[in-house]
Structure 1
Amino acid sequence: MASFLDRLLNRDPDALPKNVRVDRALELVADGAQLVDVREQSEWRSGHAPQARHIPMGRLTNDARRLKQDVPVVVMCASGSRSRTAAAQLRSMGYQATSLSGGLAAWRMAGGAVR
């Protein structure tokens, strides 16, 4: 239940933070969050998380409709820079989205699957 202060400030205590570390991202995905990779096609082909949906950054506005609006979204890129922008864009469209800090490199180092 939201605290009085949260309600007063219109904050949702269950909302995702803007960025998450890889351990939290892995938990979110394991719990059913959608994983979106916003890297370019050549980057995607060089290796990606098997459960990720590929939506290059430039197509996000048009292709976000492929995502479920009521399921959290973890956005990844190579390092975390593009994913921060993409997550903010998704939040502005009504999605509960967060960016994976450290990107695919952090994902790999934490034992996240890559194919």
Structure 2
Amino acid sequence: MIPSVSIDGVPDPLPEGLAVLDVREDVEWEHGHIDGAVHIPLMDLPHRLDEVPSGQVLVVCKVGGRSGQAVGYLSQQGIDVVNLDGGMVDWAAAGRSMVSETGQPPTVV
């Protein structure tokens, strides 16, 4: 069982001590992401484990599939992780804050 939470279960603003790991691809990240999140694409995760934040980590992707895979893997490594069910699509739909690297308003692609 993958530990998961819906957007309704994620405090706004995020509490101190809760880190965010975004496992989407570079182009998705550039268009819109959670400010302060750590970006490690899913396929890079095994080689970049040392970059995963310590403490409890909320893992996000577009809708929750890739982040679910990441949570399964990371929990096997002993990391305290939870999947955001609905991912960045639900994050944006809930009106949560996002930033962009494109110079355009943030969006989920």
Tell me if both proteins adopt one fold, taking TM over 0.5 as the criterion.
Answer: yes
Residue number in structure 1 paired with 2:83 = 99
Query: Could you say which residue in structure 1 is the equivalent of 2:3?
Result: 18
In 1, Cα distance between equivalents of 2:52 and 2:14: 14
Whole-angstrom CA distance in 2 between matches of 1:62 and 1:34: 19
* Structure 2 gap segments, 5+ residues each: 100-109
In the TM superposition, 1:62-81 aligns within 5 A as 62-69=47-54, 71-81=55-65
**Which is worse superposed, 18-27 or 98-107?**
18-27
Does residue 40 (structure 1) correspond to residue 29 (structure 2)? The answer is no
Secondary structure at the aligned position of 2:11 is classed as helix
Structure possessing the higher radius of gyration over alpha carbons: 1
Residue type of the alignment partner of 2:6: R
Query: For residues 15-59 of structure 1, what are the alpha-carbon distances to aligned partners after superposition, in whole Å with 9 as ceiling and x for unaligned?
Result: xx7110113233593242110000000111111111211010011
Instruction: Pick closer, same or farther for the CA change 1:100–1:60 going to 2, 3 Å.
Output: same
Higher relative contact order at CA 8 Å, sep ≥6: structure 1 or structure 2?
2
More divergent stretch after superposition (46-55 vs 20-29): 20-29
Q: Which has the larger share of helix?
A: 1
1:23, 1:50 → 2: CA distance?
19
The answer for unaligned runs of 5 or more in structure 1 is: 1-16
Contact 1:77 1:104 in 2 (8 A): yes
Q: TM-score scaled to structure 1, two decimals?
A: 0.77
Amino acid aligned to 1:112: R
CA RMSD of aligned residues (A): 1.8
How far does the alpha carbon of each residue in 1:69-106 deviate from its partner, in whole angstroms, 9 at most, with x for none?
A: 4x001100000011100011110011011100001011
| Corresponding residue of 2:46 | 61
Q: Percent identity?
A: 32
